[in-house]
Amino acid sequence: MANLPKGNKKLLNAWAFYDWANSVYSLVIASAVFPIFYGTLTLVKDEQGNILDDTITFLGFDFNNDTLISLVTGSAFLVVSFLSPLLSGVADYIGNKKIFMKFFCYLGAVSCIGLYWFSLEHLWFGLLCYFLALIGFWSSLVFYNSYLPDIAFHEQQDKISAKGYSMGYIGSVILLLLCLAMILMYDTFGFEDKETPTRLSFVLTGIWWIVFSQYTYYYLPKGKKEQKFTKDLLFNGFKELQMIWDKLKHNLRLKRYLTAFFVYSMAVQTIMLVATYFGIEEVDWGDTDSATGLIVSILLIQLVAVLGAFLTSRSSAKFGNIQTLIVLNFIWIAICVYAYTVTSPTQFYVTASAVGFVMGGIQSLSRSTYSKFLPEDAVDTTSFFSFYDVSEKIGIVIGMFSYGYVAQVTGSIRYAILFLIVFFIVGLLLLFRVPRNS
């Protein structure tokens, strides 16, 4: 294990490289291959591609296929939102956040590999792997994000945060292209059908995640504190949360920013999670293979997101973080309005490109803005970031449930997308209330 000083270029690059390692989960499992695989497995269609039946029986109950995966997703995020503050407090207390980051990384990666055996006959096992993969991914990010103020100086954080996201987008696209080649040219690779290479994509995702994360673990420090395990340890996470809440009361800028982030992040994360399902059900692909079209659109999102993260970093340096976030929220509102009218593949590609541009920017800038707003003398950075992550996860649960409720009541995903504008508008108004100076 290397021992490099704060701000060291090699240390910063090693931290950012974890985005390269774990972002394959976001693309292959959360966004592209698995949603399409799940839809193919659970939807009954006629020869023209029209949906005849979307009902799944699970634990003796009949579910709409989208409802079932949404419930599993929401439940996993609820678990993460409860685990994050507890584990982050423990990690800060005993000073060994890296071991927690490793545990959840390996949990997520092994669960991705387990998706190879996803089937309707053993649905409980497949959904359990999906559930644990999500928990592993998001829980590892609690500790990963908390390293940012530990390894980078204030003026370095925007740039290295954006670099991390950019590396993640590039790495995940490389693996997705490999998976796409195996699926579309399955006979060239010696497969009899598309199903086997699709399942192998989940295995490759887990292996990629484990192998490339080793570079990050080699350089990241263990932690700041060295304290013994005591009987009070399990309660320390809740004490840490109370302490952070008390500090937020006296830090107006951080408190108002976190509130704004909580609201607009509901919409951002929900859109990212349901975009593929929207494309499956609402776009008329005609003679175009829907799976190919959806993966192309997701690739567009990833590639444009690299540019978006870079330009957002430049914009924040020139105009300020909050001003840039305000502009990004305005763009998100325009995207939602346009998405309501989307019916053709071309319109969907245009929307995907726009989403990619602002997605990369708003994610990287939100993370680095929070880091910059932390008190300069803060030593309990993991606990501060647990607040950030819990806000994001609870926001996802609210966003997903709101999305599902509106879709259920109106019978249309389009109205649900339109409803998300409310979150962007409220988040926008709250951003205007964030003080520009401490």
CA distance 381 to 383: 5
Q: Which residues, at least 6 apart from 187, have a Cβ–Cβ distance to it below 8 Å? A: none
| pLDDT score for 438 | 46
Q: Which residues, at least 6 apart from 83, have a Cβ–Cβ distance to it below 8 Å? A: 135, 139
| pLDDT score for 262 | 87
Strands of 60-193 (E only): list them.
61-64
Give pTM, 2 decimals: 0.77
Q: Does 183 reside within a domain?
A: yes
Q: Does 1 reside within a domain?
A: no
CA distance 392 to 77: 9
Q: Does 221 reside within a domain?
A: yes
* Lookup: tokens for 390: 């819990």
CA distance 174 to 27: 11
Per-residue pLDDT of the chain (438 residues; tens, 9 = 90+): 567 767 678 888 888 888 899 989 988 898 888 888 887 787 665 555 555 566 777 777 777 777 788 788 888 988 888 887 777 666 666 667 788 889 999 999 999 999 999 988 888 899 999 999 999 998 888 788 777 777 777 677 777 777 777 788 788 889 988 988 888 888 888 888 888 899 999 999 999 999 999 988 888 877 655 555 565 665 666 677 677 777 777 778 888 888 898 889 888 888 888 777 777 777 777 766 677 778 788 878 777 877 887 888 888 888 888 888 999 999 999 998 898 888 888 888 888 888 888 887 888 788 788 888 887 666 666 677 767 777 788 888 888 878 777 776 776 677 878 888 889 999 899 999 888 764
Q: Does 3 reside within a domain?
A: no
Range of the domain at 54: 11-432
| pLDDT score for 228 | 59
216, 352 Cβ separation under 8 angstroms? no
CATH code of residue 407:
1.20.1250.20
DSSP helix/strand/coil, 82 = helix
Cα separation of the two ends of the chain: 37
| pLDDT score for 80 | 85
Q: Does 305 reside within a domain?
A: yes
Total structural domains within the chain: 1
